[in-house]
Amino acid sequence: MRSYINNTLVHWTGRDKTDSEAFTIIENIVKTKMLWLSFCPNYTHVPEEIRKKTMMVCFTDLPLHLSKEHCKKFGKFGIGFNKGKMIKYGANP
């Protein structure tokens, strides 16, 4: 496997949030065992009715030692999942 790809998919929280808010999101994910869908912030130019149809949960497969820059934008609190199992559940790159 290439050194910049990981066997774990990580869902990061905290984009445009305080550390406290981001940590609360992680706590809620762990307590409820649920990930909540949201629209992709990279598609803000898309009309609202289309954004609602493209809601998703975002993951990265960057190894943790390469995640510093990614975390500056998407938050520094994350939860990891086995990549192979998530693909079986329908996750895709």
CA pair distance 2, 71, nearest whole angstrom: 21
Of 93, 92, 91, 60, which Cα lies nearest the Cα of 76? Answer: 60
* pLDDT per residue rounded down to tens, the chain (93 residues): 566 688 999 999 988 899 999 999 999 999 999 998 887 766 667 777 776 677 788 899 999 899 999 888 889 999 999 999 999 998 876
| Residue pair 79/27 in contact by the 8 Å Cβ criterion | no
Q: Mean pLDDT, the chain, as a whole number?
A: 86
Residue 22 contacts residue 75 (beta carbons within 8 Å): yes
Give CA–CA dist 15/13, Å, rounded: 6
Q: How do residues 42-65 score in pLDDT, each as one tens digit? A: 666 777 777 667 778 889 999 989
DSSP 65: G
Enter the pTM of the model: 0.79
